[in-house]
Amino acid sequence: MSPAALERAASLASGDRWIPAFFNLPTAIDNSRKNQTYNTPGVGTLFLMEQQLNWMNGQGGLEAMVKRTTTSSEALYGWAERTSYTTPYVADPALRSLVIGTIDFDESISADAVAATLRANGIVDTEPYRKLGRNQLRIAMYPAIDPADVEALTGCIDFVVERV
């Protein structure tokens, strides 16, 4: 960096504006001079990321991943629209996420009880966004989740609701 750039970085850091440590240029400059990083990712994290990217690329890359999440989301939202006690939280299909589906439940059915029963039987992380305070489940449909598993989950939810 030029002397002017180094001076500007110091000037910005000494101002009244709050700057998170990971955006602090003098810290980055200091670490760079020592051939260090401020926040080094764990080697395990980098390894797992490489494995996931290799798997995604081996499946056909981004296009294939979008196809998987689209298939999963169609299964989830289609089920929610067909089922008498559920509706997709996001009403407009064009605005719905392909990777996280949030499904509202009729007030006669406790989504919390459904989530608890699912969890007790090994189906985890279906709880809703807490800040919304709604009677709903939140379903992940990431590329690594087999679309058939999303379909099976809807069957599990129906099974639980019929018995709760």
Q: What is the pLDDT of residues 102-142, one digit of tens each?
A: 999 999 999 999 999 999 999 999 999 888 889 999 999 99
For residue 36, what are the contacts with CB-CB under 8 A and spacing of at least 6? none
Could you give the CA distance from residue 141 to residue 41 in angstroms, rounded to a whole number? 26
Q: Nearest-5° angle of CA 148, CA 151, CA 155?
A: 135
Cα Rg of the chain, angstroms: 23
Q: What tens digit of pLDDT does each residue of 53-78 get? A: 999 999 999 999 999 999 999 999 99
pTM: 0.75
Bridge-partner residues for 68, per DSSP? none
Location of structure tokens 């994290």? 45
